[in-house]
Amino acid sequence: MPFTRAEAIRTLKPFLDYVLSINESMPFYASIPILRELTSMAANTAQAATATANAEETVPVKKRIHRLYLRLCRLQEELGRLDLKKAKPNVSLGLALEDFIFSKIDFSRYREINENYFTKLFAEGLADFGEDFYTNNFNRSKSEIKTLIEQSYKKTDGVYRLGKESPLILSAMRTLETSLDTLPLFGLEEITAELNRIPAKYGGRENQEKLYSLLVTSLDGVLITHNDGMTTKLFITDSGELAGTFRPADKPWTLVLIS
């Protein structure tokens, strides 16, 4: 990679100092949440390591990481329950392994969903996927799937309950809960949009692509702690990608977060 983490932070220092100096009294404070979060993470890795999901409800990047972790936890749980020895007779009779795995999915879990879990994965989590994802999987737009979920579930006593079941709603809930085909952790377009909200007199944003690359590199080695106490470690690969090693049920899963 062109920069080490230490070099990236040293190069970013004027920018980090400026963003860290922005306070709630400034009119654009609320409009740059990703920049504020990234600069905080870059400036203080130790603090980032102790930040849990509950303590970080307002930060978009960590919330995306927490949602990825929840999906991995679900996948790991399902893998842990599979007895592939039982699949062998079925597979020999012509049943595909994918069909065997599908037959073991517990779709009844989508009849009642805890409010906190529902909000994270099926409300906020919609933003983790691009429009192509919805078209390819459901032949529907993101807004149509959002409307489908909102019309299918009613909240009572902290629980979202499914009304009429259908193949589409069950497929949507299953896919949103387990798919890892998510957008990058944060993109150049998001960073550029937030940079454009900073007063033009600030002189550190002329090369937005370089700044974006430095911000990505500055996350090398950052740890994110989840509600169950497990940590995810971010790192820069030899090819310059930002990846994360997650440990659902203490089993390592490594995902590329930014190509």
pLDDT at position 81 is 77
pLDDT at position 56 is 46
pLDDT at position 202 is 63
As a dihedral over the C-alpha atoms of residue 71, residue 237, residue 212, residue 215, rounded to 10 degrees, the angle is 80
pLDDT at position 216 is 96
Greatest pairwise CA separation for the chain in angstroms: 71
pLDDT at position 121 is 97
Phi and psi based region of residue 240 (left: phi greater than 0; alpha: psi -120 to 50; beta: remaining) = left
pLDDT at position 46 is 41
Per-domain boundaries in the chain: 5-60+184-258, 62-178
Q: Token digits for 162?
A: 């499914």
**Strand-pair partners of 223:** 233
Query: Can you tell me the distance from the alpha carbon of 223 to that of 234, in angstroms, rounded to the nearest whole number?
Result: 6
pLDDT at position 55 is 44
10-residue mean pLDDT series, the chain (259 residues): 85 90 92 94 60 56 97 90 57 49 77 97 97 97 98 97 96 95 96 88 71 94 94 95 97 96
